[in-house]
């Protein structure tokens, strides 16, 4: 789990880097090493080192604060207390995940990391696996996916891929959801889980019907472990500075 004291050391180092040219340059070198496999240049590459440190401090702080708020949201519930508790819990878990993902995205973008580098620093501690579905749950998903609906003899007007705003390789997600063998990196799955909630495409009731609660919980834990990875890498990279 992420430790606030570890992040505090990062923030303190950045604050010093705003005044210290040598440390600011060390920050640029450390980030460059973490992003050595990405083709695009870091967004801060052409900036004076202390200016880059100020921008990173501001943006990284916002991202981490967003994640921290999500992490501290114990037993998340959204809705009136008189409502269905399972539904309230599902809605809370979905939106806690969105908060955590947006914080993760803000942190990685603050450092100028592209999708390739984000993938490189994802933790191996957690994997994202399709939900365990009963036959009745599978049939409910069939109703939302035109390819499968044809197999089931259904007449569907709205394609699930369009409904969930899935693009590019993301249109493999429904197949993955049903346990079919498709190639999806967990970073893609993480983004999809965020998108279908933010776009209003996945309701809490659908999340319950499709047994997505464990997937959103695992996704949250993956983000937490990945932030630990990133903070550890940054602290290690800066440890040689004296």
- What is the full per-residue pLDDT of the chain (242 aa) written as tens digits? 666 788 899 999 999 999 999 999 999 999 988 888 888 888 787 888 999 999 999 999 999 999 999 999 988 888 776 668 899 999 999 999 999 999 999 999 889 888 888 888 999 999 999 998 888 888 777 766 655 555 554 444 344 444 444 455 556 777 788 888 877 888 889 998 998 898 877 889 889 888 999 999 999 999 999 999 999 999 888 887 65
Cα gap 25→124, rounded to integer Å: 30
Q: Which residue has the tokens 């979905």?
A: 94
Cα gap 124→105, rounded to integer Å: 18
The pLDDT value recorded for residue 154 is 46
- The whole-model pTM stands at 0.86
Per-residue DSSP letters for 40-66? SPPTTTTS-HHHHHHHHHHHHHHHHHH
The pLDDT value recorded for residue 219 is 96
The pLDDT value recorded for residue 63 is 94
- From the CB of residue 202, how many other CB atoms can be counted at a distance below 10 Å? 20
Would you state the structure tokens that stand for residue 192, as one six-digit string?
């999809």
The pLDDT value recorded for residue 158 is 42
Residue 39: which residues within 8 A CB-CB, separation 6 or more?
A: 114, 116
Ranges of each domain in the chain: 4-238
The pLDDT value recorded for residue 155 is 43
The pLDDT value recorded for residue 167 is 53
Q: Are 57 and 10 in contact (CB under 8 A)?
A: no
Q: Are 227 and 209 in contact (CB under 8 A)?
A: no
Q: How far is CA 193 from CA 83, 90, 166, in A?
A: 24, 13, 11
The pLDDT value recorded for residue 56 is 93
């Amino acid at each position: 789990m992420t430790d606030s004291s570890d992040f505090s050391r990062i923030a303190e180092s950045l604050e010093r880097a705003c005044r210290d040219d040598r440390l600011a340059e060390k920050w640029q070198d450390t980030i460059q090493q973490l992003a050595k496999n990405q083709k695009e240049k870091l967004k801060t590459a052409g900036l004076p080192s202390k200016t880059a440190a100020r921008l990173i401090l501001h943006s990284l702080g916002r991202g981490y604060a967003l994640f921290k708020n999500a992490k501290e949201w114990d037993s998340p519930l959204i809705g009136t207390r008189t409502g269905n508790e399972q539904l309230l819990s599902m809605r809370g878990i979905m939106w806690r995940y969105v908060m955590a993902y947006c914080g993760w995205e803000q942190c990685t973008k603050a450092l100028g990391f592209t999708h390739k580098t984000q993938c490189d620093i994802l933790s191996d501690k957690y994997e994202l696996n399709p939900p365990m579905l009963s036959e009745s749950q599978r049939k409910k998903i069939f109703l939302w996916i035109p390819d499968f609906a044809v197999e089931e003899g259904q007449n569907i007007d709205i394609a699930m891929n369009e409904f969930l705003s899935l693009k590019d390789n993301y249109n493999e997600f429904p197949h993955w959801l049903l346990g079919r063998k498709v190639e999806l990196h967990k970073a893609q799955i993480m983004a999809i889980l965020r998108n279908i909630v933010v776009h209003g495409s996945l309701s809490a009731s659908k999340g319950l019907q499709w047994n997505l609660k464990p997937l959103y919980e695992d996704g949250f834990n993956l983000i937490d472990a990945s932030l630990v990875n990133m903070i550890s890498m940054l602290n290690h990279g800066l440890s040689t500075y004296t």
